Chain A
Amino acid sequence: MKELLRIEELSVAFPGQQQEAKALDSVSFTVGEGEIVGLVGESGCGKSLTALTVMGLLPEKARATGSVRLEGRELLTLSETELCDVRGSQVSMIFQEPMTALNPLMRVGDQIAEAYRSHHNAFASEARQATLEMMRSVGLSRVEALYDEYPHRLSGGMKQRIVVAMALINRPALLIADEPTTALDVTIQLQILDLLRELQAKFSTSVLLITHNLGIVHKMCSRVIVMYAGYIVEEGATSEVLSKPLHPYTRRLLAAIPTVERQGKALYSIPGIVAPLEERQTGVCPFSQRCDRAFAPCFRGVPPLREVGDRKLRCLLPGGETDELSIIA
């Protein structure tokens, strides 16, 4: 598989009171052409921040170091004008909240057409045609009438389809979907996921799918990257990671999924929370605070991301030899 996106040693830091706080630390991964890669973890783990870095939409205070290459082109050093050319045409993004993602005062069709026109030297009529066609592609009907509607008249699912149409109208090589279904009804979630899959195959777009839902990862992704507190802690083929998790954090994430077998028992939740950015300890394993198997070496330094077979793991415990799930259950 040809490589589309290569992120190397990416760190993003925010100025803190005494010293900089690193929200992302030495993140490295790749996304191949036409591949769907899942990025999972709790809130505050750096998933969205990774996405915003690729989009070049980091908050002004943030400082990014390392390398983000799209089709071999370094994105971190691009000027704002160059980034505007990349955004929306080579990389697009879908956001979590379709309710607020659209401008309430602008017709939805015009909002899609705007994306087309900012990357094509097109007449209004051409942009309209392209928009109508794209609206049909995302499964909307009565598109002529829908073009002139304002966002508040549309349902959540329809709005998310509009957002998808907007993101894909310029056939980007990479689509970043940041929790695209979290805010939707369960039935609509499935529809949107199917739509994403269908369009991804049709346009051979690569997708970086950010989610905290391992069920979605299982359904959609060939590969999954697990993040914790700004670090990648585990990476591998979805089937392997989900069936045989190596990192204690991944195991706990899996254990937190309600299943039929555990019906009637109290739902498991991982004790503690992801430490807020300013309170994170540096120079220790990021998960050591919440890991019941942490031992002395875990507190002496950040474990390296080591290769275990085809997988990657940031943990000092001998991977795959323990079965904690039985302890938890």
Chain B
Amino acid sequence: MTRTFLYLGKKLLSALAALVVISLLTFLVFQILPGNPALIILGVDADPLQVEALEQLMGIDKPMLQRYVEWLGGLVGGDLGLSLRYRVPVTDLIASALPVTVTLTLLSLLITIIIVVPVSVYLATHNNTIAATFLSALTQLGVSVPSFWLAIMLILVFSVMLHWFPSGEVIPFSQSVTGALRSLVLPAVAISIGTTAVVIRYLKSTILDEMHMDYVRTARSKGLSRNTVLYRHVLKNALLPAITILGMITVDVLGGSIIVENVFNLPGIGRLITSGVGNRDFPMVQALVFYLAATVVVINFLVDLLYTAIDPRIRLP
């Protein structure tokens, strides 16, 4: 038990170290980038005195190290400065976009997992049948169809033609939880189809690999039926490597599915990124870049936690 805590403590420390390095790199990149934020706000023809005054106000005239320390302090305290475009704290903008993106992520993950497990098991156990070949072809299609096209098609069929789901409007959670969820279903489906297809193809092949392992033969020789062996022994072993893939997908969606969020007009992280980059909103983009990198670190840490919980071999230092 103490070993496990030690292991996790080490992982946590390395995650924190990674975050510090990321913050430094992010900060440096934005120092090197050309373009003066004060000039962007005031326009190219602005009065140099005015520019200087604004630079002072924004604090860009201070030495680099001081600014980094201040930014780092802000990061910890939750103050990332004002958005150049919206003139509101960046943290507020991110905080309002985050629920949309997080819900979208959880919803896509849920859909993915619900579909992936039974379909992969079916494909693995009915390998080489006509139905399985057809399904495999479908997953191939799912992998290759671009998500923006899918998103448009989903809106066309389910919102415009069938009126099952709203389109183009987003109901905030504060207004109606079910309404908000309803408006996120189609985007989640648009994201999940690609991810589902990828994970199905992956999980199917790991299940097939696992079924040839010696422990499966041992379990069968105890008198367990094929299905019992599959669900009680094979699946857990096969899902282990799939966790990594799911983690990568989570990072991807949490980082804002830029295309899907834009097609569905969702006020999530993806939209913030597009608008931030488009408007050269330095403080916002800087904060978002740090957010993206931090998600990778945090999700990887969670994946590590999950592995530790499932695989007893990992507890060994």
Contact = CB atoms under 8 A, between A and B. Distances in A.
A75 B16 CA distance: 61
Nearest to A152: B313
Interface in A109-128: 114-115, 118-119
Interface in B25-67: none
Interface centre among A55, A89, A103, A152 (most CB of B within 10 A): A103
A163 B218 contact: yes
A315 interface: no
Contacts of B220: 57, 87
A13 interface: no
Given A84-B225, A88-B222, A152-B312, A105 B214 contact: no
Contact of B221 (A57, A102, A104, A152): A57
Contact of A80 (B215, B226, B313): B226
A55 B221 contact: yes
B240 to A, nearest CB: 8
Given A103-B233, A106-B233, A84 B223 contact: yes
Contacts of A103: 215, 218-219, 233, 237
Nearest to B216: A103
A55 B240 CA distance: 30
Interface string B207-230: 000000111011111111110100
B236 interface: yes
A45 interface: no
Interface string A259-276: 000000000000000000
25 contacts: A55-B221, A57-B220, A80-B225, A84-B224, A87-B222, A88-B223, A88-B224, A92-B221, A92-B222, A93-B221, A95-B217, A100-B213, A100-B214, A101-B218, A103-B237, A104-B237, A105-B237, A114-B224, A114-B232, A115-B223, A118-B224, A150-B312, A150-B313, A152-B313, A163-B218
Contacts of B221: 55, 57, 87-88, 92-93, 167
Contacts of A80: 225-226
B260 to A, nearest CB: 36
A218 B33 CA distance: 81
Interface in B258-317: 310-313, 316
Interface centre among B228, B237, B240, B312 (most CB of A within 10 A): B312
Nearest to A176: B221
Contacts of B214: 95, 97, 100-101
B95 to A, nearest CB: 40
Dominant SS among interface residues on chain B: helix
Interface string A39-65: 000000000000000010100000000
A95 B218 contact: yes
A118 B313 CA distance: 27
Given A150-B312, A152-B316, A101 B222 contact: no
Contacts of A118: 222-224, 228
Contacts, number: 74
A140 interface: no
A81 interface: yes
Contacts of A317: none
A175 to B, nearest CB: 11
A244 B277 CA distance: 89
Nearest to B240: A105
Given A87-B220, A95-B218, A103-B219, 14 more contacts: A88-B224, A89-B223, A97-B214, A100-B213, A100-B215, A101-B217, A101-B218, A103-B215, A103-B218, A104-B215, A104-B311, A104-B312, A105-B237, A115-B222
A274 B218 CA distance: 28
A133 interface: no
A81 B220 CA distance: 12
Contacts of B232: 114
Contacts of A105: 236-237, 240, 310-312
A86 B223 contact: yes
Contacts of A152: 312-313, 316
A166 interface: yes
Nearest to A119: B223
A84 B224 CA distance: 6
Contacts of A55: 221
B97 to A, nearest CB: 39
Contacts of A88: 221-224
A177 to B, nearest CB: 12
B225 A81 contact: yes
B225 to A, nearest CB: 5
